Amino acid sequence: MRKYESQFKRLFVFFLALTSIFCKGQIVEGEEYEQIDSLLNSEFEKRSFQGAALVAKHGKIIYQNAFGESNMEWKTPNTISTKFQIGSVTKPFTALAVLKAVEEGLLDLNKRITDYLPDYPKTPGDKITIHHLLSHTSGIIDFPDIPGFEWNLERLGHSQEMMLAYFQDKELKFEPGTNFKYSNLGYYLLTVILEKVKRKEFAEILQTEIFDIARMDNTSVAKFRTILDQRAEGYANTGKEVINAPPWDQSIVKGSGDIVSTVEDLFLFSLSLFSNKLLSQKYMDVMFTPSLPTKDNYAYGWFVSLPDKHSGPKWVRHSGSINGFSAILTHLTDDNYTIVLLSNLHGVKTIKITEEIKKILYK
């Protein structure tokens, strides 16, 4: 018996050693690894980044590491397993869920809000289509347009009725389809429609149709009251000090910013998405086609590079910023590179850091 116990202990120690190496991001030693690590350490030292990062080439992780603390009061370090609020990086998941419903024949991109929600006010509801909501071309207002919402009402729990009351009767910013205006509330409305046609909660739709298929075991729509293993606390840098981020309730960002995830799980999402495990190529092409390329480069849930505006390799990406957290997921489509940055620090310049990482990859 002692012989087997001894063998087990040796195997266990060996496993821990491998895990330690993996968690420190030492996947591939080399010039790229060292340069990316140097860049992120520099950003961390300037208090411009803390959190976790992952870079993959051709489906293989070449870099991952973590910086700073997930709980600064308890001095708990961030790791690559730390779970972060991903903010608006939620929107690619919502857009994907909508397009899967379109693929199944449950939704039509050209049908209107009132076709699915008959009680929705007709003045805007008869004009706005699913396409308009996905592409931020609906003209629906956003949080800054609601007096007293940000830093005040946002900390309160909201029912669906309360959320719809903020915008469903409000005048549109423009005629649907004629302009671009980013609207978190438009994406909230997409979840209401999805739940109606699927007869399921939005969280369940994401879990069964995306997270489970992509094997994203550390991703969820988690409320703040939920005890969630390895969840990071959120912070903000005032320029003079780092402080606890103002409170907010996840009920207000349903479909637009309510997902909690890890860098590795977002990489797994990218792998599954771009290998057509989650959506057919027909609808992948639809998802990455910008609606108004002369006005903005937003498609369905993703910003995309435009040949006449963006030089260098083609990319699709979405960043996110929410009280205490910053995030970005970028996929370089021609070369199958993925870059993920998740931070529990508000206001991190994730696009700028991603661009610096891209320079290293394309040297």
Tens of pLDDT, residues 15-61: 433 433 344 444 556 899 999 999 999 999 999 999 999 999 999 99
> Which amino acid belongs to residue 46?
K
For the entire predicted model, the pTM comes to 0.92
Tens of pLDDT, residues 319-345: 999 999 999 999 999 999 999 999 999
HSE (side-chain half, CA atoms, 13 Å) at 309: 12
pLDDT of residue 27: 57
Tens of pLDDT, residues 242-300: 999 999 999 999 999 999 999 999 999 999 999 999 999 999 999 999 999 999 999 99
Compute the distance between CA of residue 239 and CA of residue 237 in angstroms, rounded to an integer.
Answer: 5
The CATH number of 29-361 is 3.40.710.10
CB distance 321 to 51 below 8 Å: no
